Amino acid sequence: MLVLLVVLSLLLLTAYFGESPSGRLHGVQRAFLTVVSPIQNGANKALKPVRDTIGWFGDTLNAKGQRDKLKRENNALRKQLVAEQGEKTSLRQLQALYHLDQLGAGEYHPVTATVVGKSPNIWYSTVTIDAGSNAGVHVDDPVVNGEGLVGKVAQVASDGAYVDLITDSSMGVSARLGKSTATGIVQPKVGEPGDLLLQYLPSTTQPNRGEFVVTSGTVASPDDSLYPPGLLIGQVTSVNEETGFKSVNVRPAVNLQNLDIVQVLTSSAGSRAAGIASLAEQLPAGKGDAGTEAGAEQYASAGGGG
Amino acid sequence: MSSGGSASLPLRLAAMLVLVTFVQVGVISEIPVFGVNADLSPLLVAFVGLLCGSTVGATYGFATGLLVDLLLLQTLGLSSLIFTLVGYFCGRVRELRDPQAALTPLLVGAAAVAASLVGYSLMEFMLGVDAPVSLELLRQIVLVTLVDAIIAVPLWLLVRAWLESALPDDPRRRRRRRRAYTTGGLSPLSRS
């Protein structure tokens, strides 16, 4: 019996690992999600009081420390806001000039969803949400909440979807440092769910502790970033010196341990990738660097099977 | 042992699997303790092996792994493989040693969790990891094992209470019988 079950597991593992995300076993997972998502939604609602009660104790303990920290952040952000008002005006003019506004967050239609399940596994950072293809959700749609970027949609069923969080080992997001134009790839560090790594920054970059890291949303080639530009990913906590490149450790802005309501940024009509591709053809040439970074993001995301 | 009791065992096991998996995904996974989440699945598989033996333990491990992989979009077959082995070896512990100490569920549960986490990590490395892996992973494994060890005994009591009446050969009953004979109690033969 043991041998039979082990062989069966190995067969499943081999077949699943070898097939594409549109393969038969992935299809079984999607079908399973379609079947269980109504049950999961019901169970989530029934168990919410239990979760809230337990969560209340933890929240109360953390509240005091968070209040002091937020006061300090609020003061710093107020100063920053004043300084950036002028830059915002210039940015609007530049976006209009290059038609970049067509790819901003306004291009996306947010679909609000509730998180109904979360993986306990330290190797997989995924959550299940209660919105699927019926609500217009597609694979690879970005997922955000009020704090910043949460992740992207990995699989979709009719009334539910799996979301890979930014800390999932399959993720890679093209990002830039807030105060500079230096871009790199944000990847998770397996084993450290509260820490991300912004890699491949040019060696000339001078990152500062506390600096914001946002999605770069590069728009120069057909295989572009999945994420609109300017979504907050996190803040720099430390800088690592490496040969050739620099990398920085980033603390995610979103509290991924406590997700409840999220928004899926769905595209308006048809495939967003196709929309980006057609628009990219209209853009002037000479943005090869950005295209390389976006390609690296695609590579990093696709590499893990996501 | 009643035949009705044996027949209800698969039903009780299935009901427990579904209930615990949904509670895990919907509640436990959203409550961090020391920065990690408790994982009930390996504990459950270990306790079923410890109560029901290696064959049932391995089968239950396979079913649990399959459900977890399907429900959480994980690599299909990976959890099945690990939980099958965990269930089997916990069942063998019962068959070979039949431990009765009060700390048995805690020790077996912690060992099962640690083995499943290490096994999972090894398999992930073998399959290829795209992201950098931190040494903090070891700390995570230790923390999850400790958190699971804390909840092991209460979970064991619940699992045993739920399955006890359906078990074909309950170790506690067997122990009570053995104690009755050795302390001067009458055997069924001498009574008749």
Q: pLDDT tens digit string along A37-74?
A: 888 888 878 877 877 777 777 677 777 777 878 888 88
Positions of chain B with pLDDT under 50: 1-3, 187, 189-192
Cβ pair A171, A187 in contact under 8 A: yes
A122, B140: Cβ pair inside 8 Å?
A: yes
Q: Rounded mean pLDDT of A114-129?
A: 84
Domains of chain B in start order, with CATH, are 3-191 (1.10.1760)
Q: Is the pLDDT of residue A224 over 70?
A: no
Cβ distance A51 to B26 less than 8 Å, yes or no, reads yes
Cα separation, B51 vs A76, whole angstroms:
59
Whether the CB of A53 is below 8 Å from some CB of chain B: the reply is no
A144-190 pLDDT, tens digit each: 888 889 999 988 888 889 999 988 888 888 888 876 778 888 988 87
pLDDT in tens, A243-271: 778 888 999 888 887 788 888 988 754 44
Res A261: pLDDT: 86
From chain A residues 277-306, the ones with a CB under 8 A of any chain B CB are 300, 303-304
CB proximity under 8 Å: B 4-33 to A: 22-32
User: Using a CB-CB distance cutoff of 8 angstroms, which residues of chain B are in contact with residue A191?
Assistant: 133-140
Average pLDDT, chain A: 76
User: What stretches of chain B show up as alpha helix (H) in DSSP?
Assistant: 3-26, 40-52, 54-71, 78-97, 104-127, 136-163, 171-182, 188-191
> Measured between CA atoms, how close is A9 to chain B, in angstroms?
5
Q: What residues 97-116 of chain A have any CB closer than 8 A to a CB of chain B? A: 115-116
Residues of A numbered 198-227 whose beta carbons fall under 8 angstroms of chain B's beta carbons: which are they? Answer: none
Burial class (CB in 10 A: 0-12, 13-18, 19+), A70: exposed
Residue B117 at interface with chain A, using a CB cutoff of 8 Å: yes
Contact list, A12 vs chain B (CB under 8 Å)? 76-77, 80
Chain-chain contact of B73 with A124 (C-beta, under 8 angstroms)? yes
- The residue of chain A with its CA nearest to that of B121 is A123
Q: How far is A163 from chain B (nearest CA, A)?
A: 9
Chain A residue at shortest CA distance from B74: A124
CA dist A252 and A130 (Å) reads 24
Would you state the structure tokens that stand for residue B131, as one six-digit string? 């992201």
Q: Is A262 exposed, middle or buried (0-12, 13-18, 19+ CB in 10 A)?
A: buried
| CB–CB contact A51 B58 (8 Å) | no
Q: Do B131 and A304 touch (CB under 8 A)?
A: yes
Q: How many CB pairs under 8 A join A and B?
A: 178
- Compare all CA atoms of chain A with the CA of B26 and give the residue at the minimum distance: A117
Please tell me whether the interface predicted TM-score (ipTM) of this complex is above 0.85: no
CB-based contact, B70 to chain A, within 8 Å: yes
10 Å Cβ neighbour count for A35? 13
